[in-house]
Structure formats: structure tokens, C-alpha cells
């Protein structure tokens, strides 16, 4: 019976406390943050770049076509990064989920209301708030793991 339980844990490939794992929260988050080349660092860097492109297009009063292009890019990338949730850390999951959700909402509003300067200003404010949450999430990940993600622009 004990062998069967151990085998079930090994087959599942998941280190759970019930299986006698000694994996630390730091190790669990570090493993989650950098699976097979698609890391949290890369995702955050992409979202920061996308966010900057949207902000720059709004500020320079780009045309609807260009706004559609940058806004849909942010929308797609934010939705894609959201697929990696949840994380092993509840607070990190909450911060990332909120950040991604606000980025999706802001990008969608930017796309659908690209002709309205008032709506674009509101979308840009929401985008900015989302970036604050994203930075907070990066700082949380770094605090849990004890190492830097080395994202340019974030200490």
C-alpha cells in the first residue's frame, strides 16, 4: 500500500506536502517562474514593452489603425501570460491576475474605443495602474525566491 502511494506521487510528478516533499516556497515559485524557456521575466518584459507602445501611441494621438495594432498586441500578450496562472504563491497569483486582468481590460477598451480620446485616456490610466500591480508582483516573486528576475527598469 505504501509503495502504491509513493508511486502515485511520482507518477503525478507533483511535489506536494502530502507526498513528503521538502520543496520550499522559494523553490516552488522559482520553478514556476521559469518553465521550459517561457519565463515570468520574459512575459513581464513583453508586457512592459507592449504597455509602453500603447501609452506612446495614445500620447502622440496615433490613428485608429495604429492603436488597433498596439492594443491588440497588448491584449494577446496579457491573455497569454494569464494562462500560466496560478502560481504556487497566493499573493503572487492575486497580483499577477489583477495586473493581467487590468491590462486585458485596458487593451480591449483601447481597441474598441480607439476613436475616443476620453476613452483612451481612461484606458491609459488603467494600463498604468496595471503596470504598478505587475511591478508589485515582480517584487513579490523576487522576495519569495530571494533572487532578482533582472528585468530592465525594475530594481
Q: Is there a domain that residue 151 lies in? A: no
Q: Is there a domain that residue 68 lies in? A: yes
For residue 34, the model assigns a pLDDT of 85
Q: Is there a domain that residue 6 lies in? A: no
What are the distances in angstroms from CA 89 to CA 3, 28, 92, 94, 110? 30, 8, 5, 9, 31
Q: Is there a domain that residue 5 lies in? A: no
Q: Is there a domain that residue 105 lies in? A: yes
Q: Which domain holds residue 44?
A: 24-145
CATH number, domain of 129, equals: 1.20.120
> Is pLDDT above 50 for 39?
yes
Mean pLDDT for the chain overall? 87
Provide the whole-model pTM. 0.83
Structural domain count of the chain: 1
Q: Is there a domain that residue 102 lies in? A: yes
Give residue 63's pLDDT band: very low, low, confident or very high (50, 70, 90).
Answer: very high
**pLDDT more than 70, % of the chain:** 85
The average pLDDT across 8-17 equals: 38
Helices (H), 83-116: 90-112
Q: Is there a domain that residue 77 lies in? A: yes
Q: How far apart (Å, rounded) are the C-alpha atoms in residues 28 and 136? A: 19
pLDDT in tens, 98-144: 999 999 999 999 999 999 999 999 999 999 999 999 999 999 999 99
For residue 109, the model assigns a pLDDT of 97
13 Rama class: left (phi>0) / alpha (psi -120 to 50) / beta: left
Q: Is there a domain that residue 4 lies in? A: no
Amino acid at each position: 500500500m505504501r509503495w502504491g502511494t509513493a508511486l502515485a506521487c511520482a507518477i503525478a510528478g507533483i511535489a506536494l506536502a502530502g507526498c513528503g516533499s521538502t520543496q520550499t516556497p522559494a523553490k516552488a515559485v522559482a520553478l514556476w517562474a521559469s518553465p521550459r524557456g517561457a519565463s515570468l521575466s520574459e512575459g513581464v518584459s513583453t508586457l512592459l514593452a507592449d504597455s509602453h507602445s500603447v501609452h506612446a501611441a495614445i500620447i502622440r494621438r496615433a490613428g485608429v489603425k495604429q492603436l488597433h495594432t498596439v492594443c491588440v498586441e497588448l491584449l494577446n500578450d496579457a491573455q497569454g501570460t494569464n494562462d500560466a496562472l496560478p502560481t504556487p504563491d497566493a499573493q503572487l497569483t492575486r497580483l499577477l491576475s489583477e495586473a493581467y486582468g487590468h491590462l486585458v481590460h485596458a487593451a480591449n477598451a483601447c481597441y474598441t474605443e480607439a476613436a475616443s480620446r476620453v476613452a483612451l485616456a481612461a484606458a491609459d490610466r488603467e494600463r498604468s495602474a496595471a503596470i504598478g500591480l505587475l511591478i508589485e508582483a515582480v517584487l513579490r516573486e523576487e522576495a519569495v525566491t530571494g533572487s532578482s528576475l533582472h528585468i530592465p527598469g525594475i530594481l
